[in-house]
């Protein structure tokens, strides 16, 4: 069985829980509180910068030129989307550059970005691939699902269109094909670590969206 098919089946219930989060359901209906969406956009911009760094490290560890090229392009794409958030959604929803710069990572964002960067630097190429895949794949699947649920004149339609669009889905398909090729050549121990890495990131995807909906900050604050 292909790694992608196996890992999706193992984590399908987690995906459904992610799709059913109030954040995503209310986003599709256009009823999501603007404060929650703004909280999400700021944290997502911070996240994408770290994700781009992790993708760059992954490119450096790639087994072949194709992997180097693909993940270098993915890294560039992540940074481009982060800049689009500044120029698009942040302006649309009145988030100033100062507000973004002065808003630190939340607990959930810090946990997720730290995990990805630590994995990128310390683990083997196949495991790094697996840790990075959920951000691609789950976003694509959630984007497609809520695109078909979206109401007319949805204030969040531009976000939905980004992750339901053909360009993003083509990138996801490339990432899946690449990881399936790599997974077909690794030993059982590495494959097991790949499954753990994917599931960990998938759980952190759930946590990221749930935290945004609740607008959670750190549970302990500095004096």
CATH number assigned to the domain with residue range 3-11+32-214, chosen from the 4 options 1.20.910.10, 3.40.50.2000, 3.50.50.60, 3.20.20.450: 1.20.910.10
pLDDT value, residue 182 = 96
Chunked in runs of 10, what are the mean pLDDT values of the chain (223 residues)?
97 97 96 93 90 95 93 84 70 83 92 98 98 94 91 89 82 93 97 98 97 89 65
Q: Could you give the angle at the alpha carbon of 182 between the alpha carbons of 54 and 61, nearest 5°?
A: 35
**From the CB of residue 34, how many other CB atoms can be counted at a distance below 10 Å?**
11
CA neighbor of 161 nearest in space, from 181, 145, 147 = 147
Q: Cα–Cα distance between 161 and 178 in angstroms, integer? A: 25
Prediction pTM value: 0.93
CA neighbor of 137 nearest in space, from 105, 109, 163 = 163
Domain range annotation of the chain:
3-11+32-214
pLDDT value, residue 87 = 67
């Amino acid at each position: 069985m292909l790694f992608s098919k196996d890992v999706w089946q193992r984590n399908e219930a987690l995906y459904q829980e992610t799709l059913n989060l109030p954040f995503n359901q209310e986003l599709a209906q256009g009823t999501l509180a603007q404060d929650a969406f703004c909280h999400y956009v700021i944290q997502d911009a911070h996240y994408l910068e770290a994700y781009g760094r992790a993708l760059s490290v992954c490119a450096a560890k790639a087994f072949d030129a194709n992997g180097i090229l693909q993940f270098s392009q993915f890294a560039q794409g992540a940074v481009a989307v982060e800049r689009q958030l500044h120029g698009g959604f942040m302006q649309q929803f009145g988030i100033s550059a100062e507000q973004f710069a002065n808003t630190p990572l939340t607990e959930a964002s810090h946990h997720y970005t730290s995990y990805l960067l630590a994995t990128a630097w310390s683990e083997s190429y196949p495991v790094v691939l697996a840790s990075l895949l959920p951000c691609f794949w789950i976003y694509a699947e959630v984007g497609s699902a809520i695109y078909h649920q979206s109401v007319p004149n949805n204030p969040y339609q531009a976000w939905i269109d980004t992750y339901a669009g053909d360009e993003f889905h083509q990138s996801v398909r490339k990432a899946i094909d690449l990881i399936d090729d790599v997974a077909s050549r690794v030993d059982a121990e590495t494959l097991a670590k790949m499954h753990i890495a994917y599931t960990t990131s998938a759980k952190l995807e759930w946590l990221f969206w749930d935290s945004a909906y609740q607008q959670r900050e750190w549970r302990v604050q500095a004096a």
